[in-house]
Structure 1
Amino acid sequence: MIPVNTTIRVVLLALAAATGAVNSNSVNAADAAAGQVLWNKTYSQTDGSVARSCTSCHGHDLTQSGRHIKTGKVIEPLAPSVNPQRLTDPAKIEKWLTRNCNWTLGRECTATEKADLISYIKTQ
């Protein structure tokens, strides 16, 4: 479980990233370039299953739909530019980042990694 102070920081960073309030002068500035690296990196799985990256399900073009590699379920585009509902609900942001980081990376993402991912997604 994430400590409360970390959860609050992630939600605040998510809101700041979603509204454009995070900038390079901010102490907690998110880094879209770091988010892109994290997004594209492939992670080996401890259970021996096929290595995964965020692109495994969401693809490289976030303006297009993706498909979950295990269930086959369609994933609506993540890019706020084509899907305005994305990055608008802090609870959903936290829920999906927690779930997807655990599934892809095999661990929970740090608050900084989450902010970087959100910042990257916003650029799409």
Structure 2
Amino acid sequence: MHKHLQILSLLLCFSAAAATAAPGDLLAGYSALAGRSADAAQGQRLFTSSQGGEWSCASCHQALPTVAGRHASTGKRIDALAPAFNPQRFSDPAKVEKWFRRNCKDVLSRECTAAEKADLLAWLISLKP
């Protein structure tokens, strides 16, 4: 089975409705795939620093993603990324995988690992009002 399908299948198992998920369920799924606990501090470093390319995650989502940001090249508004500030974030496993795939390729020039996804999500979940 293709790696993305394996990840998505595992994430869907954590979801009671199979169409929605809680951010904590997704975090548990990514941590299980990574074989380790998530590291929120590492997630923050990954989010805020450039990974050798032109952009970081913070380029569009803001250094503290509790407010709306703007796409670095198009200027399109991007709603707050932290789940406590935008309950729709990290609620649809298919969308989560889609955006991780796109954004990781933009920032890292490759797909994120399960450990990187877990770390990023752990940090985003830790941000509270």
Retained in 2: the 8 A contact 1:79–1:121? Answer: yes
Compare the two structures and name the one with the higher helix fraction. Answer: 2
> What's the C-alpha RMSD, in Å, of the aligned pairs?
2.6
The 1-side partners of 2:102 and 2:68 are apart by 19
Of 57, 60, 63, the match for 1:57: 60
Q: Which runs of 5+ in 2 are unaligned?
A: 15-20
Q: TM-score scaled by structure 2?
A: 0.75
1:28 match: 36
**Structure 1 residue 59 displacement after superposition:** 0.5
Retained in 2: the 8 A contact 1:38–1:117? Answer: yes
Question: Equivalent residue of 2:122, what SS?
Answer: helix
Q: TM-score scaled by structure 1?
A: 0.77
Q: Which runs of 5+ in 1 are unaligned?
A: 46-50
Aligned residues: 115
Of 123, 126, 129, the match for 1:120: 123
**Letter aligned with residue 116 of structure 1:** D
Q: Per-residue displacement from partner, 1:61-114 (whole Å, max 9, x unpaired)?
A: 211100000110000001111211111111111110110000111111111111
Instruction: Please tell me whether residue 77 in structure 1 is matched to residue 76 in structure 2.
Output: no
Identity %: 43
1:44 match: 52
Instruction: Please tell me whether residue 107 in structure 1 is matched to residue 110 in structure 2.
Output: yes
Runs of 4+ residues over 3 Å off in structure 1: 4-13, 19-22
